[in-house]
Amino acid sequence: MSELAVKGVAKRFGALTALQDVTLTFRSGEIHAVLGENGAGKSTLMNVMSGFLAPDAGTVLLDGKPIPLGSAFECKNLGIEMIHQHFTLVPEFSVAENLSLARLDSLYSPIDPLKNSAQAILSGKDFGWDLDAGAKTGTLPVGVQQRIEILKAISGDARVLIFDEPTAVLSPLEVEELFRVLVRLRDAGKIVVLIAHKLSEVLSVADRISVLRLGKLIQTADRANVTARQLAEWMVGELPAANTLERPSEQGEGFEARDLVVLGDRGETAIDGVKFSVRRGEIFGIGGVDGNGQVELAEAVAQVRTVKGGELTWQAKPFDAEFPVIGYVPQDRQRDGLALGMSIQDNMLISALRRKSLFKGPFLAMRAVREWSQDLIARFSIKAGSPNDSAKSLSGGNQQKVVVSRTLDRDPNLLIVVNPTRGLDIKATQYVHDRILEARQRGAAVLLFSADLDELYALSDRTMFLSKGRLLEDTGAAALVGGEA
């Protein structure tokens, strides 16, 4: 039996302690899930195990031999592969070129993208994924890009496969297919490590489960010996109370799209003649598999993508006559939601430059700005050392909180959110859901796009599904496959 053993690992980032004396063993022939809140240390631990980070203390052993800490390339050569939560793709490269990069032995290896990517493309067919090898990766939907990340890892001769939130951008059917592949990898004798937030997913596929909280290992248990509630309590200490807000009794005319036509990045028709409305005090949910026009529709309503045809109205008046205060939470927080090299405070300011209380004459009142940003950090439980820390220093979930906090702080009367809790932990998910419900309570018209059916039905007053740029009524079959029944 092969095993990857973590012994006494500790890691700090400035004043933040990410890992404290973590000792844990991962064995071949099992799927070992690691759970924890955002900032619990999961991704830090995985990056140490795969060589992307050198710990401050401790060691990692593969079959009793120390791995080269802090050397991802050497760890890869040992057969340790990691599928990252945030993509490590080159957007300007084709699918074949990105897959080919993962198979290079050195910088001097000959590059033949089609030949080097052939095995990965073939592996993709086991998932039911028919990838266009020549497609430019940056133009593909987020869900398809995630598939490429997965194929980069499993197409090689890996002994250890670390999946960091692999299901975050997949539909329910795609998740089921991925889990079948994880089981095959487990049965083939691989060490399979799964980082996840959704307890139902973990309980459906994991053999053993470990929980981290605030950088410490809380517990490891066999799947058969734990319940969802026990895991949740280990993760957060105390479960958050459910929101008890009732739906507002009075509604009014809000947003309407009439015969909307929107083009995609390659000039194709992404949205074709869509009609729908969202009343004030209502959450209108749109489900479906990623890549069916969700992003293009959301960007058109949010006014960050040109509308090719049709009309958008607010309270029965065209947008150019009656423009609502729009709040927009995009799908890809790193590419579209944040300037990662800028500070948390500067990223928050992006949507607050018309807030008069933050200015003294034509200049920013820096004391007021700092107090405001600290208040947002506290209210949204963003785990950060200082507002001046860079956005890239935050965990993925805390990056999402920055985007959500600045958006909802504007009190928009038209709120557009795309997969708003993707990658968030239990407490953060509940908090974001509560804030969306409160926006509805204030009378906002909320347009929710979510590939997560549980989230879609928990929040929405009405639902439809988007398929190939067209809206379909919510039927049982449409709910299962995003309208492609």
DSSP class per residue in 380-444: TT---S-TTSBGGGS-HHHHHHHHHHHHHTT--SEEEEESTTTT--HHHHHHHHHHHHHHHHTT-
Q: What confidence category does residue 330 fall into, taking pLDDT thresholds of 50, 70 and 90?
A: very high
pLDDT score of 250 more than 60:
no
Position 245 in a domain: no
| C-beta separation of 422 from 400 below 8 A | yes
262 and 210, same structural domain?
A: no
Do 173 and 142 meet the contact criterion of CB atoms below 8 Å apart? no
Q: What are phi and psi of 433, to 5 degrees?
A: -60, -45
For residue 63, what pLDDT is reported?
Answer: 94
Q: Which helix (H) or strand (E) holds 480?
A: helix 476-481
Please state, in angstroms and rounded to a whole number, the distance separating the CA atoms of residues 456 and 437: 12
Per-residue model confidence (pLDDT) at position 479 = 45
Report in angstroms the alpha-carbon separations of 346 from 13, 109, 117, 390. 21, 42, 41, 9
| Structural domain boundaries enclosing 371 | 252-481
In a domain, 241, yes or no: no
**How high is the mean pLDDT of the chain?**
86
The reply to whether 247 falls in a domain is no
Mean pLDDT over 203-221 rounds to 94
For residues 264 and 227, state if they share a domain: no
436 vs 14: CA distance, rounded Å? 34
Residue 214 has pLDDT above 80, yes or no: yes
Among 236, 268, 292, where does a domain finish? Answer: 236
Is 182 within 8 Å of 411 (Cβ atoms)? no
Is residue 333 domain-shared with residue 466, that is, in the same domain? Answer: yes
Distance CA 263, CA 372 (A): 38
Q: What residues contact residue 7 under an 8 Å CB cut-off, 6+ apart?
A: 23, 58, 59, 60, 61
Position with higher pLDDT, 476 vs 131: 131
pLDDT over 50 (residue 440): yes
Same domain, 466 and 441: yes
Q: Are residues 130 and 216 located together in one domain of the fold?
A: yes
pLDDT at 101 over 60: yes
In this structure, the answer to whether residues 171 and 27 fall within a common structural domain is yes
Q: Per-residue pLDDT averaged across 412-422, rounded?
A: 90
Q: Are residues 232 and 267 in the same domain?
A: no
User: Per residue in 128-175, pLDDT tens?
Assistant: 788 899 999 988 877 788 788 888 888 777 899 999 888 766 767 778
The pLDDT tens digits of the residues spanning 184-205 come to: 889 989 999 999 877 888 999 9
Is residue 308 a contact partner of residue 261, using CB atoms and an 8 Å limit?
Answer: yes
Confidence of residue 24 (pLDDT cuts 50, 70, 90): very high
Domain boundary among 203, 236, 269: 236
Same domain, 179 and 273: no
Q: What is the pLDDT of residue 478?
A: 46
- Domain end (from 207, 236, 265): 236
Closest-CA residue to 419 (of 346, 355, 341, 336): 336
262 and 133 both lie in a single domain? no
| CA distances to 25, 31, 45, 346, 411 from 216, in Å | 15, 21, 11, 31, 37
Is residue 308 located within the same domain as residue 168? no
